[in-house]
């Protein structure tokens, strides 16, 4: 999130702009800088917190190679053979230097297959997955959202298998995607470009190989097909249609799943949400059936693909449409419409009161503030003060990001170090967050679109929250972590709504944020 604004600012000078054409659905030139931001955002925590073994180092080198080729492609649309060369070099690094190999394959038992089979198989699979995500990047938030769901399922399985180093990498990538989606939700302000889509495809491919071949070899080796999900189907569907019609499998067209859904007159919102839901079904199936037989998993995957293909083909052949050409769908009317003024003001007042109380009182009453958190708060305090005083002269400092982190600090401290002199019951805490949640839901329907607009990314986040909340308790080491995650999501939405209502940089929200950072900084540094 911090890197995107400066990258947008320099995107024109860097030649990283995506111009519209007959195959694309956007109308104006949009910066292709999301991939650069995501890669840097992922590399930093991996280098800091993950042991740099050969497989991790090879992954980082491969990501760097794809970033270079991706930027060159985003600048000048490289020939597909040169793109393949870059992908091949990155894959060869992880295969031969990192020793990342598919050794156990479906229907071959648990014994490793010959290197003469595992090496070419791994190369083909990783290149194919890299291209599958690259080809799926056709609508705002589409590729990033589907990979986010894949990573969520992969991360959960890695957690159950005690693959903590792998889990850190997965969480880092999920965090980078979330920051990117902040700017890529329809209508997108940025695109990830080939640098981003190839990075995501390559990374999820390598992580799945490590998960099923190294972290937990007892997993069914075919579950990556389910965890990657729709992008694999989309690639096979498009290639088959191109060959069937006598075209080159590499020729561009509008046969992708998202193109098909738009042709059926689904709105942009609906098309993305439908794809998210289908992807969620794939991922959940992969998690649930991770130890099932090869026959079962393969049959399930083939059946799901056949069902999707038949549905798409016959919907188009029989000219079934979601709604009339000039009529908005119910969902589009909901997310784009305006509702009552009174409900909007009531919701906004509730959210503002709740956030102000949290930020003003929270730092004072927590029983302890960690020293490293205090130092971080002091740095953010300085950044926020400079940003408010100098305004646009420090445009590259993200006001939104600082306010998000400030709220996260307070929620974290209250969760980890609750007050000793004024203890809140669970009922009181749930009532507080429940009231803000209700206000957010009402505000989403009552406030104008400039204040808040429900997007496919919001639906995606809600899906993840529900999934976390429904995870079996026996498989979670500490339910407090789950509650903390849900609290973060609620407060972030509350802060987002308030930020969109800010008219001046000096306001009650920024003032109380300065207060919160100052108190946290003083208490942490001086152990108060």
* Residue 338 confidence class, pLDDT cut points 50, 70, 90: very low
Structure token pair of residue 35? 């991939």
Q: What is the predicted pLDDT for the residue at 29?
A: 77
Q: What is the predicted pLDDT for the residue at 472?
A: 58
Q: Which has the minimum average pLDDT: 47-61, 261-275, 330-344? A: 330-344
| Closest C-alpha among 214, 281, 307, 192 to residue 467 | 281
pLDDT of 420 strictly over 70: yes
Domain boundary at 267, 298, 331, which? 331
Domain boundary at 304, 331, 358, which? 331
Structure token pair of residue 424? 């809140």
**Cα–Cα distance list, 267 to 18, 323, 328, 524 (Å):** 22, 9, 8, 50
* Residue 337 confidence class, pLDDT cut points 50, 70, 90: very low
Cis peptide before 187 (omega within 30 of 0): yes
Tell me the range of 21-25, 463-467, 519-523 where mean pLDDT is highest. Answer: 519-523
Q: Are 15 and 190 in contact (CB under 8 A)?
A: no
* Residue 474 confidence class, pLDDT cut points 50, 70, 90: very low
Q: Are 229 and 283 in contact (CB under 8 A)?
A: yes
CA–CA gap between residue 178 and residue 404 (Å, rounded): 13
Residue with tokens 């982190």: 405
Segment 462-477 mean pLDDT? 63
SS3 state at 76: helix
Segment 486-507 mean pLDDT? 83
Q: Which has the minimum average pLDDT: 128-137, 375-384, 476-485, 504-513? A: 476-485
Tally of structural domains, the chain: 2
* Residue 336 confidence class, pLDDT cut points 50, 70, 90: very low
**Cα–Cα distance list, 235 to 177, 206, 242, 393, 403 (Å):** 22, 19, 11, 46, 40
Segment 2-8 mean pLDDT? 85
CA–CA gap between residue 36 and residue 34 (Å, rounded): 5
Q: Do 325 and 371 belong to one domain? A: no
Domain boundary at 331, 358, 388, which? 331
Q: Which has the minimum average pLDDT: 73-82, 204-213, 284-293, 341-350? A: 341-350
Q: What is the predicted pLDDT for the residue at 296?
A: 94
**pLDDT tens readout for residues 372-382:** 999 999 999 99
pLDDT of 5 strictly over 60: yes
Q: What is the predicted pLDDT for the residue at 208?
A: 96
**Cα–Cα distance list, 272 to 29, 264, 495 (Å):** 21, 13, 25
Q: Do 171 and 258 belong to one domain? A: yes
Q: Do 66 and 186 belong to one domain? A: yes
Q: Do 272 and 360 belong to one domain? A: no
Q: Do 53 and 105 belong to one domain? A: yes
Segment 153-164 mean pLDDT? 91
Structure token pair of residue 64? 């760097």
Q: Do 24 and 82 belong to one domain? A: yes
Torsions phi, psi of 73, nearest 5? Answer: -70, -40
Burial-class residue 94 by CB neighbours within 10 Å (0-12, 13-18, 19+).
buried
Burial-class residue 43 by CB neighbours within 10 Å (0-12, 13-18, 19+).
middle
pLDDT of 475 strictly over 60: no
Q: What is the distance, to the nearest Å, from the Cα of residue 476 to the centroid of all Cα atoms in its chain?
A: 22
pLDDT of 93 strictly over 90: yes
Q: What is the predicted pLDDT for the residue at 453?
A: 61
pTM score of the predicted model: 0.80
Higher per-residue pLDDT: 312 or 224: 224
pLDDT of 124 strictly over 50: yes
Q: Could you count the other beta carbons within 10 Å of the beta carbon of residue 376?
A: 17
Q: Which has the minimum average pLDDT: 99-113, 199-213, 243-257, 268-282? A: 243-257
pLDDT of 460 strictly over 80: no
Q: What is the predicted pLDDT for the residue at 476?
A: 47
Q: Do 354 and 325 belong to one domain? A: no
Q: Are 444 and 462 in contact (CB under 8 A)?
A: no
DSSP run (H or E) holding 17? strand 17-18
CA–CA gap between residue 378 and residue 523 (Å, rounded): 10
Paired with 30 in beta bridges are: 18
Q: Do 148 and 54 belong to one domain? A: yes
* Residue 67 confidence class, pLDDT cut points 50, 70, 90: very high
- 426: containing domain: 337-525
Torsions phi, psi of 16, nearest 5? Answer: -105, 65
Segment 107-134 mean pLDDT? 90
pLDDT of 63 strictly over 90: yes
CA–CA gap between residue 412 and residue 102 (Å, rounded): 40
pLDDT of 75 strictly over 90: no
Segment 108-116 mean pLDDT? 84
Average pLDDT value for the chain: 84
**pLDDT tens readout for residues 175-231:** 999 888 888 877 778 888 889 999 999 999 999 999 999 999 989 999 999 999 899
Number of alpha carbons in the 13 Å side-chain half-sphere of residue 194: 24
Segment 93-122 mean pLDDT? 90
Q: Do 440 and 344 belong to one domain? A: yes
| Closest C-alpha among 297, 121, 115, 321 to residue 224 | 297
511: left (phi over 0), alpha (psi -120 to 50) or beta: alpha
Q: What is the predicted pLDDT for the residue at 335?
A: 44
Higher per-residue pLDDT: 500 or 69: 69
Segment 60-69 mean pLDDT? 95
DSSP conformational letter for 424? P
Q: What is the predicted pLDDT for the residue at 339?
A: 43
Q: What is the predicted pLDDT for the residue at 100?
A: 93
Higher per-residue pLDDT: 341 or 86: 86
Q: Do 350 and 272 belong to one domain? A: no
Q: Which has the minimum average pLDDT: 39-48, 88-97, 209-218, 387-396? A: 387-396
Residues 6+ apart with CB under 8 A from 277: none
CA-based torsion, 243, 245, 248, 254: positive or negative: negative
Q: Do 455 and 390 belong to one domain? A: yes
Burial 345-367, CB ≥16 within 10 A → b, else e? eebbebbbebbbebbbebbebbe
Q: Do 428 and 359 belong to one domain? A: yes
* Residue 407 confidence class, pLDDT cut points 50, 70, 90: very high
CA–CA gap between residue 422 and residue 429 (Å, rounded): 13
Higher per-residue pLDDT: 306 or 485: 306
Q: Are 131 and 87 in contact (CB under 8 A)?
A: yes
């Amino acid at each position: 999130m911090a890197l995107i604004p400066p990258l947008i600012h320099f995107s024109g000078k860097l030649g990283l702009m995506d111009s519209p054409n007959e195959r694309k659905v956007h109308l104006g030139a949009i910066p292709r800088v999301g991939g650069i931001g995501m890669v840097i955002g992922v590399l930093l925590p991996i280098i800091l917190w993950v042991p740099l073994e050969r497989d991790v180092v090879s992954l980082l080198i491969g990501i760097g190679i794809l970033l270079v080729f991706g930027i060159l492609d985003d600048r000048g649309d490289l020939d597909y053979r040169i793109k393949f060369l870059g992908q091949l070099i990155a894959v060869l690094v992880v295969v031969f230097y990192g020793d990342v190999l598919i050794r156990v394959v479906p229907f071959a038992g648990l014994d490793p297959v010959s290197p003469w089979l595992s090496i070419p198989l791994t190369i083909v699979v990783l290149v194919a997955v890299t291209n599958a995500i690259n080809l799926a990047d056709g609508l705002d938030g589409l590729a990033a959202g589907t990979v986010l769901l894949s990573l969520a399922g992969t991360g959960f399985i890695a957690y159950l298998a005690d693959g903590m180093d792998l889990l850190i990498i997965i969480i880092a990538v999920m965090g980078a995607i979330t920051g990117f989606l902040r700017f890529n939700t329809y209508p997108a302000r940025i695109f990830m470009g080939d640098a981003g889509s190839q990075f995501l495809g390559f990374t999820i491919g390598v992580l799945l190989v490590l998960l099923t071949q190294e972290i937990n070899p007892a997993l069914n080796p075919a579950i990556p097909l389910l965890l990657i999900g729709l992008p694999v189907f989309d690639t096979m569907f498009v290639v088959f249609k191109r060959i069937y019609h006598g075209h080159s499998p590499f020729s561009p067209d509008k046969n992708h799943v998202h193109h098909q859904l738009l042709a059926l007159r689904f709105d942009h919102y609906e098309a993305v949400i439908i794809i998210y839901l289908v992807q969620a079904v794939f991922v959940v199936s992969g998690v649930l059936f991770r130890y099932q037989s090869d026959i079962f998993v393969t049959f399930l995957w083939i059946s799901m693909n056949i069902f999707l293909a038949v549905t798409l083909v016959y919907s188009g052949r029989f000219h079934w449409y979601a709604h009339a050409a000039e009529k908005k769908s119910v969902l589009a009317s909901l997310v784009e419409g305006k509702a009552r003024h009174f409900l909007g003001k009531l919701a906004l007042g509730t959210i503002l009161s709740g956030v102000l109380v949290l930020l003003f009182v929270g730092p004072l009453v927590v029983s302890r503030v960690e020293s490293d958190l205090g130092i971080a708060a002091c740095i953010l305090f300085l950044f926020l003060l400079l940003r408010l005083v100098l305004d646009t002269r420090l445009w590259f400092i993200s006001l939104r990001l600082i306010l998000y982190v400030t709220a996260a600090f307070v929620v974290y401290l209250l969760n980890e170090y609750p007050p000793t002199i004024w203890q809140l019951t669970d009922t009181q805490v749930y009532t507080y967050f429940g009231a803000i949640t209700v206000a957010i839901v009402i505000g989403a329907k009552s406030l104008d679109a400039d204040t808040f607009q429900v997007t496919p990314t919001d639906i995606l986040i809600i899906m993840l929250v529900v999934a976390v909340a429904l995870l079996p308790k026996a498989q979670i080491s500490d339910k407090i972590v789950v509650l903390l995650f849900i609290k973060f999501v609620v407060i972030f939405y509350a802060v987002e709504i308030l930020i969109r209502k800010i008219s001046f940089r000096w306001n009650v929200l920024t003032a109380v944020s300065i207060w919160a950072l100052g108190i946290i900084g003083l208490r942490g540094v001086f152990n108060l």
